[in-house]
Amino acid sequence: MSGILAAVAWCGVHFVIFLVQRGTGALNRERAIFLFHAIPFALFLMLLVAALAAGWLSFDHAAGALSVHGIYSLTFLEFWSLAQGGYTVSLLRLLLAGPMTEAAVLHELRLIGEKKRQDRLLALQDRNLIRRIDDSVVLTKRGRFAARVVLLLRWLANMRGAG
Amino acid sequence: MTAILAAAVATSVLIAAHATMCRLSVLPSIPAFLLAGVIAGGGLGFGLYGLGASLGDVVVAFLVFAFASELYLFAFTAVLGSISANILALAAAKPLSIRELGEIYNGATMAALRLERARSAGLVRSAAGNLELTPRGRLLAGVFSWLRDLFGHDAEP
């Protein structure tokens, strides 16, 4: 169980570092917060491989320890992303300040939606998943692979239509 | 390896049960996932008990199963509501023009749809010609504000 306890301690230290860093705004971007989790995850994996090679840990317990880190990071990222602000969060935050007319709320939500669409297109382009050719969006090689993963997940969950 | 194999089997059962329930339209996809998780997790527990697994093996099996399940949940909920995922899926079929994209993600339609969803979920209501939060909406807004503070979303870089 020592590997699992080490994973809990590692995640605890990581969370404390996050609490110290969060006021700086350095981790406010999706890429920054993703790397803030991905890099320690990769480091922890390397430590586990070293511990396995040295015979300090069984394969099962190494997998359990890695799972602790995975559960922590995924849960953190899900809540981080939820709080970052979709339509519902934005709507609730707008109305928390006080009542507004429906037209004003719809106007604000429309601006948020248009910004989101632009941001997503730019992010897909930055990650080399799509290319803009004239007035069209086409997938890159990497984008075609990502699209296949998306289509597989949609098929599994029997999803249809726009998100 | 028994614990990892058992967790792998339970995860496969979870994904297959979820896919089946989604096709039978028994439940919406998230409750279907939760039910499939309970079935697969229960099966994992009984299976390990039947094999006489040690406490350490049981803990490892449930940790691996929980991680794999959360990874699947994370992936399919991202695909369910993500604009990026939808753009990739649409562009996989044929090149997509910016005009088509604008029609699919029409700002006014999306805004009206989300407002209607919030209203039917009992988060907002109309009062004296204005929109305001219901007590439930206010509670949820408070939770989101707390989460935003916790994650420092409003901190300036």
Q: In the structure, what pLDDT confidence band is assigned to residue A162 with cuts at 50, 70 and 90?
A: very low
- Residue B138: the pLDDT is 93
Average pLDDT over residues B139-148: 91
Average pLDDT over residues A112-133: 86
- Neighbour-count burial for A67-89, b at 16+ CB within 10 Å, e otherwise: bbbbbbbbebbeebbbbbbebbb
Average pLDDT over residues A7-18: 95
Q: Is B115 on the interface with A (CB under 8 A)?
A: yes
Q: In the structure, what pLDDT confidence band is assigned to residue A160 with cuts at 50, 70 and 90?
A: low
Q: Is B120 on the interface with A (CB under 8 A)?
A: no
- Residue A2: the pLDDT is 82
Q: Which is more confident, B45 or B76?
A: B45
CB contact under 8 A, A136 and B97: yes
CB contact under 8 A, A25 and B115: no
| Model pLDDT for residues B70-92, shown as the tens digit of each residue | 999 998 888 877 888 888 888 88
Residue B27 to residue A125: CA distance in whole angstroms: 36
Give the global pTM: 0.84
Q: pLDDT above 90 covers what percent of chain B? A: 46
Shortest CA gap A54–chain B (Å): 18
Question: Do A57 and A3 form a contact (C-beta atoms < 8 A)?
Answer: yes
CB contact under 8 A, A95 and B84: no
Q: If you compute the radius of gyration of chain A from its CA atoms, what whole number of angstroms results?
A: 21
- Residue A163: the pLDDT is 45
For chain B, the average pLDDT equals 88
For chain A, the average pLDDT equals 89
Contacts A–B by Cβ distance under 8 A = 246
Question: Do B151 and A80 form a contact (C-beta atoms < 8 A)?
Answer: yes
- Residue B94: the pLDDT is 82
Residue B131 in this model has a pLDDT that exceeds 60:
yes
Residue A33 in this model has a pLDDT that exceeds 80:
yes
Q: Is B82 on the interface with A (CB under 8 A)?
A: yes
Average pLDDT over residues A138-153: 92
Shortest CA gap A78–chain B (Å): 7
Q: pLDDT above 90 covers what percent of chain A? A: 48
| Model pLDDT for residues B94-110, shown as the tens digit of each residue | 888 888 877 777 777 88
Secondary structure of residue B152 in the 3-state scheme: coil
Shortest CA gap A45–chain B (Å): 15
Q: In the structure, what pLDDT confidence band is assigned to residue A161 with cuts at 50, 70 and 90?
A: low
Residue B18 in this model has a pLDDT that exceeds 50:
yes
